[in-house]
Amino acid sequence: MARTPFDLADIVDRHRGALETVQPLSSTQGRALSAITLCRTAALGGHAGVCLACGLQEDPSYNSCRNRHCPKCQALAQERWIAKRAEALLGVPHFHGVFTLPEDLRAVARRHPREVYDALLRSAGEALLELGRSRLKATLGLTLVLHTWTRDLRLHPHVHALISAGGLTQDGSTFMRAKEKFLLHVKPLARLFKGKMMDALRGLRKRGALPMSDGAFGALMASLAKQDWHVYLKRPFSSPERVLAYLGRYTHRVGIANSRLLDVTEAQVTWRTKDGRTATLAPVDFLRRFVQHVLPDRFKKIRHAGLYASPKALAQAKAGLGSPLAPPTPPRSWEEVLRLLTGRDVSRCDHCQAPLHRRLIPPERSLVRRFLSPIPRSPP
């Protein structure tokens, strides 16, 4: 897909002030918007390549902000994640599951994202593991990824689950494969997920993490109890390589990519949604939708459970499949990853291929300290 001339950073830079007049931002939301604005600008410093052989001087390349909500910072992180997970992935097909929160819980998630999203991830993982142990008599391998958006940036919390087609028996002696096109019945899985999530909500309220009146909480739980919760499982992928290629699209995706921005003016933002459709909002309304997907500080949106959370069990499972764990490979440098992604060797001159001398450009320390300094940890 061709690059568009539009950038989320420009929208943030021009309209953040207006956004903050109508909606207070959390410290994490503010830091994310600041990082997006400063990303790949001189404020963060960078480098410029100079070829000592032919004299070519490259334009400066500025550093990325590395904020997980920035659309320009995910490609390298995604490739590194995929490379690391490739070492652990079981050599069996994997199913793709999706667990969605009912609409009634979206307002609660907006007010208490850390608590609700944590409960969502835990409930989905526990439901899969419990049903796997009772129906398959085996422990599955799970990777869970939280998403909170629709294509038009509305709040829609759901979890994508990558599920091994089979698991390790309870005594750890055998890897039991699932059927080729069937893993678990969806209806009992949805009921179990629903029960675990509702129990988690009761526990949160008991601990004071969901400050709601008795009447409001009772009405919410009664409504949730009457509904059929949405869970589905897709057919398995045929190879581990396809699993990683598919999941990699989900792990580091952000709410909106610059490539989806179709038109940006002072009055409106138009972006591509789904099936050829578009959405258009005033810039401030667009940013209001965007910031609701900024996750709480240090919240882990990618989690592993079952075999993928236990190195010992994973090693047993791989041994049962005849593919012992390989020793970990050293992480690739950003230059190596970029060469794999683009085919360009940034360590050499584009003109004569001689090694480049890299001249460092220091960051503007005052801006970095002001906008990107770490948030202090909350007391336990």
285 or 326: which leads in pLDDT: 285
* Rounded Cα–Cα distance for residues 350 and 89 (Å): 37
Q: How confident is the model at residue 88 (pLDDT cuts 50, 70, 90)?
A: confident
pLDDT in tens, 70-81: 998 877 777 777
How many other β-carbons are positioned within 10 Å of the β-carbon of residue 274? 10
Q: How confident is the model at residue 258 (pLDDT cuts 50, 70, 90)?
A: very high
252: closest CA among 72, 88, 108, 116? 72
Q: How confident is the model at residue 87 (pLDDT cuts 50, 70, 90)?
A: confident
pLDDT > 70: percent of the chain: 88
3-class state of residue 70 by DSSP: coil
The secondary structure element, H or E, covering residue 378 is none
pLDDT in tens, 95-150: 989 999 999 999 999 999 999 999 999 999 999 999 999 999 999 999 999 999 99
What are 255's two structure tokens? 């709410």
Residue 338 has pLDDT above 70, yes or no: no
User: Given this model, what pLDDT does residue 334 score?
Assistant: 60
DSSP letter for each residue of 108-125:
HHHHSHHHHHHHHHHHHH
357 or 161: which leads in pLDDT: 161
DSSP code for 374: P
User: Given this model, what pLDDT does residue 182 score?
Assistant: 87
Residue 1 has pLDDT above 70, yes or no: no
User: Given this model, what pLDDT does residue 377 score?
Assistant: 39
Strand partners, 155: 149
Q: Give me the helices (H) in the chain, please.
A: 8-22, 27-38, 75-88, 106-111, 113-131, 186-206, 214-226, 240-251, 283-291, 311-320, 334-342, 365-372
286 or 83: which leads in pLDDT: 286
